[in-house]
Amino acid sequence: MAEKQSTSQPPQTPQNPPQTEDTPEVGEEEVEKKEQEELPPFEIVEGSRIPASSFKFQFKNVEYSSGRNKTLLCYTVERAGGQVYSGYLEDEHAFSHAEEAFFTTVLPQFLSAGPVTVTCYVSSSPCVSCAASIAKCLKRSKALQLRLVLARIFQWEEPEIRGALRGLRSAGCALRMMRSTDFAHLWKNFVEPDAPVDGEEGVVEGEGGQVGGEFGVFIPWEDLEENSRYYEEKLAEILR
């Protein structure tokens, strides 16, 4: 499928005016309210590639996801006739989530044309609200087969999160954790390398040194396999 351009421009975060003696101080609550009113709910990007540095940070399957305050969702939609569509969505701020955007805005256009098989690779598992929305979509759409492949589990210690994941499984969603082959698949099909190193075209810098190729080669981080097994154990415990 030919690549499509972004359907919208990234929202610009409003800048606060410089404080002077003549400028009244604006309270934090008023600033938050103003930003919430001005920012659109999400940005949808289809057919584009994720910057390599963003992918390596947001999809890294660490136990504690400090600083990773957005969700990236890569999807493939397969129709019965063999047509395959793909793209990715990204949270631009904290007031809505990529999962909700996909299941309410992107997926419905495919469901009207018969059975579809959807695979979503998500940097973090859905929150309670998004999990409930996905479960409702599955119950409404009998022609939908869904698999969520997760890099991390969001707040897995919380009973509400654990219950939400069990609810997804009960609604018919297949859940599993990402493995090294999944990260490599995303790197090949969804990632745009960062700027070339030392002016060498087609060469990108990976963790552990330079790597070559049109889009580079995925270099696993040190604890990828260990962290993947850790999360697999946690998911199995939750779904037991």
Residues annotated catalytic, as ranges: 99
224-239 and 159-170 helices, crossing angle to 10°: 80
The C-alpha atoms of residue 172 and residue 220 are separated, in whole angstroms, by: 31
Tell me which amino acid residue 204 is.
Answer: V
Question: Which residue reads 């999360």 in tokens?
Answer: 231
The C-alpha atoms of residue 132 and residue 125 are separated, in whole angstroms, by: 12
The C-alpha atoms of residue 176 and residue 125 are separated, in whole angstroms, by: 10
The C-alpha atoms of residue 137 and residue 171 are separated, in whole angstroms, by: 9
The C-alpha atoms of residue 70 and residue 58 are separated, in whole angstroms, by: 8
CB contact set of 191 (below 8 Å; sequence gap of 6+): 49, 50, 51, 52, 55, 215
Torsion of CA 108, 110, 115, 120, to 10 degrees: -80
Question: 155: helix, coil or strand?
Answer: coil
Q: Where are the beta strands (DSSP E) in 101-221?
A: 116-122, 144-150, 174-177, 191-192, 204-206, 209-211
